Structure 1
Amino acid sequence: MSIHLIGGGWPVEDEGAVYRPFFDELAAHAEAAGKLEGARLAIVLVRDGDAPEKYAELVSAFELLGKIEPVAVLAPENAPIAPAAFADVDGIVVWGGLTPAYRQSLEPSFLELRRLVASGVPYLGFSAGAAIVAERAIVGGWKIDEVEIGAEEASEDLEQLTVAEGLGLIDLAVDVHAAQWGSVSRLIAATEAGLVDGGVAIDEHTGLVIGEGPLWVVGRGSVWKVTPDSGSVRVSTAGADRA
């Protein structure tokens, strides 16, 4: 089973092409467990105010992509989510919102989520849910000291570039809304500053699938890869037609 990282963009477009690989794996996991009523899908939303409405919207969209038994994992920003919320699930979706809040709310469940993914439960992270999967997660910020490294509008309510312990599913740092928010520059700055050892920035309506084989890209945008290179950085891109 795989880790599916989506850089943002909603609603579902292109007949769900970005989401379909995840839902195929979700169905396979449920079938292997003998669940005929549908796959138990944990949907994590850490949001103030609109979580129930967003949850209903997601369930309606996801039911068009597969037979599911949705499990609501809803929390206000920064409220802790207990590991028991993920009991007996066949897949995990961690949605978007304020990235630092998702990281803080899910921290008590990091070990359980790592255990589930290691056991074969597929994970889909959308926007914030993608950004927190790394061992060292870029959670926000638009400056290093007084130097601007990105747009304030993409700061996640943080001024200084902030890297924190993440979920630890992968060793690459992840930034999201790459072309749309210009967040590639933040990933470059984090790499140049030695805060992360390179990573990927993912466009909206684009997914990066990380499994047992080679990485692959789905959707209509690009995945921007940033790697250290003799004191500087190297930037390359991959898309569904170029992966």
Structure 2
Amino acid sequence: MSTVSLIGGGWSAPELYAAFVAESAGEIACVVIDEGDGADQFERWSAALRAAGDCRPAPVLVPVGEHLDVAALGDAGGLLVCGGLTPAYAAAVTPVASDLRRWLEDRPYCGFSAGAAIAGEQAVVGGWTVNGRPLIPEDAGEDLGEVTVVDGLALVPFLVDVHAGQWGTVPRLIESVRVSGVPGLAVDEDTAVTVAAGQVRVSGRGHAHLVRPGEDGAVAVTRYHAGQVVPVG
């Protein structure tokens, strides 16, 4: 597989897409879960991609409740999975994970917010409570109550949470890491982590927060900024 870029959300840093756009070399398939305004939502990412470089964004709208048809991606040079309600993206895209990984064998992947959150083998799709106890703000729960982890795309070997600094989601990732035993990264808005050539590197205007499991349910949290390599492995 080529490069995997995971953006934590935000609209102030179109430069985060530049390397992905260059590697895609032309048409970029943009998967948007369509809740009735999919075409309008697509235009937001199309504008961000075009601001980052010469490319041809192409909408792939998936109605809520349906699965992505990988054949609809055609011969595009790269794939952007966009943002919205993370459980809806997981329900639409992860059931075709094996077919999607085959399509991505020689193409780059970029995930924005929800598209980033579902990239791991397991995906943190939302929730704001643990055993009914509030953990993060309810508005960040993605319409779920309990913190929920489901099967992901298995594009990266770690959990991903997003809008870290802005929505306060680091505690949710800590709980997910503690339960799963798998390390994770919580990514700020206007920030990306890029996985390429065996390295995980941070870029953008915020931070990536590495959560590593320890003994007896303990975890360690370390913050990384642009230009730093994150030792996830």
State the TM-score, normalized to the length of structure 1. 0.88
Give the equivalent residue in structure 1 for 2:17.
Answer: 19
Q: Which has the larger radius of gyration?
A: 1
Q: Deviations over 1:56-77 (max 9, x none)?
A: 2322332232332332111222
Contact in 2 for aligned 1:46/1:101 (Cα 8 Å): yes
Residue 86 of structure 1 and its aligned partner are, at CA, apart by 1.6
Q: In the TM superposition, what is the alpha-carbon distance from 1:20 to its structure 2 partner?
A: 1.2
How do residues 117-128 of structure 1 correspond to structure 2 at under 5 angstroms? 117=104, 119-128=105-114
The aligned counterpart of 1:4 is: 5
Residue in 2 aligned with 1:205?
190
Matched, 1:65 2:52: yes
Unaligned 5+ runs, structure 2: none
Give the drift of 1:241. Answer: 4.5
> Aligned ranges for residues 43-54 of structure 1 at < 5 Å?
43-54=30-41
Q: 1:68/1:242 Cα in 2 relative to 1: closer, same or farther (>3 Å)?
A: closer
Aligned pair count? Answer: 227
Q: 1:25-40 to 2 correspondence within 5 Å?
A: 25-27=23-25, 39-40=26-27
Q: Secondary structure at the match of 2:45?
A: helix
Check conservation: 2:45, 2:82, Cα contact below 8 A.
no
User: How big is the alpha-carbon RMSD for the aligned residues of Structure 1 and Structure 2?
Assistant: 1.5
Structure 2 match to 1:56: 43
- Residue 75 of structure 1 corresponds to which residue in structure 2? 62
Q: Is the 8 A contact 1:47 1:97 kept in 2?
A: no
Partner SS state of residue 180, structure 2: coil
The yes-or-no answer on 1:230 pairing with 2:231 is no
3-state SS of 2:123 partner: strand
Instruction: Find runs of 4+ consecutive structure 1 residues off by over 4 angstroms.
Output: none
* 1:83–1:108 CA contact under 8 A, matched in 2: no
Does the CA-based 8 Å contact 1:96-1:129 persist in structure 2?
A: yes
Letter in 2 for 1:139: V
Q: Which structure 2 residues correspond to residues 97-108 of structure 1 after superposition, within 5 A?
A: 97-108=84-95
Q: Secondary structure at the match of 1:81?
A: coil
Identity %: 39
TM-score, normalized by length of structure 2? 0.92
CA distance in 2, matches of 1:98, 1:143: 18
Are 2:173 and 1:150 equivalent residues in the alignment?
A: no
User: What's 2:165 paired with?
Assistant: 179
Distance, in Å, in 2 between the alignment partners of 1:178 and 1:150 is 11
| 1:17 maps to amino acid | E
Give the direction of change, closer, same or farther, for the CA distance of 1:24–1:115 in structure 2 (3 Å limit).
same
CA contact under 8 A between 1:149 and 1:185: conserved in structure 2? Answer: yes
Contact 1:136 1:164 in 2 (8 A): yes
In the alignment, does 2:218 pair up with 1:217? Answer: no
